[in-house]
Structure 1
């Protein structure tokens, strides 16, 4: 999970001060020291850390905290506010040209995930904003890059403008823009060449493309796992091209998070999108406030709701609610729900978006293996239609048949049946309680 180490350290640091009825300067000093160490361990730029901790300390010993009835909570709010500001404050929206098409140049070093991110961005523009993008293959030095973009185009059913490896990248970019005008595309996304390191030849070519097509956005694609080097790369590209925003890849990986926390402060350029997985729909708009909440263990319900809205069918959801109320929820309904949850992303990531989930009994330090969903699916799919509709039909021989068909044990089949019945009872209880006076049970995640 992104920022996992940093998140744990920061939460430990602020937890000590959270419930205090009175906060002394010494308390703030100790917390500041721990926050400073946590950020440095996460590979955040030293100067950025110094300024960040200084601002927290100055605000935390001011009147807004010392005069507050809940000083511990006020300090945590200050840390969250400053963390949000460090990552850019508000989310930065993508540009829209007055006259289509909006032209986007994708730049970055080789290996940062530029070509894949180009496809992801086009997919996001089409799905979330109902736009009609055209992809342009301007990396002529790597035939594999052109082939990869064309493959992505076929997978996403999006057009790709390619002229092979012999054409001039500047001409490819210009002709792609002309084609977009003729075919009424909203966006042109130009996948440019990369190098293993920044050099004059690469920058010269990128500057010529920039002059030829006058892009509305120049997005620098940066691998979040490169840590502090990502900030140095961002500075180099920005000096030469005046980039308009950063797209972080692999933010879901085993990264310490230093790049995300340093880039905006060092370059002044906002992080606009973040890659949260390998799938083509796992590119998200970067929301600094939501990311700060995730890092501090406060959850991210807005992103969770947005994910649900894109994956959950509204009619199915209403039908499901009705079935919960009268306890007619079946294993077939359960299968449908699992399919939708799987499309929303890894389970541990979804759980961490629920406010306070990391403090809930049973969820603390729990690991969520997505393979378990596969095992459950195998058991349910080994049932007959009648058994899925009415689990009370299950007897010993049926259970043995299901276990054999799914490759699981009889005890796993029994466990699933018990969990399913417990879940049905809980759902009915919750639905009935919500019906009384319009109030639900006081679950922290509902």
Structure 2
């Protein structure tokens, strides 16, 4: 997410690091690079000018305290101004006492409107609300069938109707929702390849019939500043309450995300971050600004962890770790839990200070898949007690998992190191304080499951990692060569 923009901004802001005072000339040079980075990211020109104006006004003449790293002060100024551009604060979905609560999902064809409607319905269902989807897109071939398939996959009923008039479909759907005590109705309206009068007339009629509490415009995040023109076109004809940015996980530039709120005033309420039904997040301007600047988003990281892991099961696993009863069954459960949280690249991008290259992310994914394959090729007794894995067992596991004997041996050793770390944590010293806590935590970060995530290769060590400088292999002496020949 925003990989290219983040890299350019980090490079531009690197010019001010180490400066005690920010002069007007230095600020102009830095802002010139920032401006170029934003324009290349397809951010709206007017939005770029307003953002840079705010940054320059706050930066010129700023004294950097001795206790603060100068670069941090500059980044904070840019961060604060970027948050202001993105919307200052989180705007929640409208909550109404009316029943059913109606949400119209509008947008152009190809923006991900129908998929986003299903995700929104799933989002409401996750809040213990009874939800109904309405298939009112009667223009695009296959739209009704697509929504019905999506609804079946998430267990939400879809009202299709037999009418070819979308207004009649919506009217009958609301009547049925009232009879079946539905809490929320999500209406997937028809889109067009471009904004036209027929589309707006139809949406206006549906809005009068349904009296919606929320009208969300779905915009494709990858369309850049073109999204601004689309939002303005809809805003002139229908009363939008917010924007849902789809396909944000595939956007490397961030032009639409930065431009829409500032240019139109319509708040971004939700963002699509994947293909799964649950990949819909509430938009937090401050967290998004942190991601764009490469500062991570640790709050969202922990929120995803809480959603992916059952609280009771997590407590049981923590107890097993402390008691040194952690097995390969628990290890693979952790891997599956991380997959529920999202892709490796997405998770690593949320951790402050970690912005790995695509090649490193691929290495991490490959290592996780290899570990999972090896564990799945073990017998239940081998997963519970890895000490019984001898040479013949390693060969069988390697053959079954499509890996090498060395891969199996390393994973078993890696797992043993992880268990020893937690054993040292539970040993305790005088007064009950763990004497080896700092050392244990260091080992955990380098060799545990966290180490598998944060560095490619085995336990943070790449398979083909070059020998560090100064540790070059010494050539054999004549005496050693002679001994080797005798052997």
TM-score, normalised by the number of residues in structure 2: 0.85
Distance 1:37 1:417 in 2: 50
Distance 2:254 2:94 in 1: 26
Q: Structure 1 residue aligned with 2:419, among 424, 432, 440? A: 424
User: Cα offset for 1:287?
Assistant: 0.8
Distance 2:168 2:354 in 1: 53
Q: Structure 1 residue aligned with 2:361, among 348, 367, 373? A: 367
Distance 1:353 1:17 in 2: 25
- Spell out the pairing of 1:157-306 with structure 2 (5 A cutoff): 157-164=155-162, 166-306=163-303
Distance 1:38 1:433 in 2: 52
Q: Which has the higher contact order (CA 8 A, sep 6+)?
A: 1
User: Cα offset for 1:254?
Assistant: 4.2
Q: Is 1:414 equivalent to 2:413 in the alignment?
A: no
User: Cα offset for 1:356?
Assistant: 1.9
Distance 2:303 2:113 in 1: 25
User: Cα offset for 1:7?
Assistant: 0.9
User: Cα offset for 1:60?
Assistant: 0.8
Aligned position for 2:395: 400
SS of the counterpart of 2:119?
Answer: helix
Name which one, 1 or 2, has greater alpha-carbon Rg: 2
Distance 1:364 1:419 in 2: 25
| Deviations 1:282-318, CA, capped at 9 Å, x for gaps | 1111111111111112211111111111110112212
Q: Is 1:88 equivalent to 2:82 in the alignment?
A: no
| Deviations 1:244-295, CA, capped at 9 Å, x for gaps | 1111111111431100100001110011111101111111111111111111
SS of the counterpart of 1:240?
Answer: coil
Distance 2:275 2:435 in 1: 41
Distance 1:438 1:85 in 2: 47
- Assess, with a 3 A threshold, how the Cα gap between structure 1 residues 439 and 72 changes in structure 2: closer, same or farther: farther
Aligned position for 2:71: 72
- Assess, with a 3 A threshold, how the Cα gap between structure 1 residues 290 and 408 changes in structure 2: closer, same or farther: same
User: Cα offset for 1:371?
Assistant: 4.4
8 Å CA contact 1:252, 1:276 repeated in 2? yes
Aligned position for 2:318: 321
The aligned length equals 438
Indicate the RMSD between aligned Cα atoms, in angstroms. Answer: 2.4
8 Å CA contact 2:20, 2:63 repeated in 1? no
- Spell out the pairing of 1:10-29 with structure 2 (5 A cutoff): 10-29=9-28
- Assess, with a 3 A threshold, how the Cα gap between structure 1 residues 12 and 439 changes in structure 2: closer, same or farther: farther
Aligned position for 1:378: 373
Distance 1:430 1:15 in 2: 40
Distance 1:262 1:432 in 2: 55
TM-score, normalised by the number of residues in structure 1: 0.92
8 Å CA contact 1:23, 1:72 repeated in 2? no
Structure 1 unaligned residues grouped into runs of 5+: none
Aligned position for 2:308: 311
8 Å CA contact 1:45, 1:262 repeated in 2? yes
Aligned position for 2:470: none
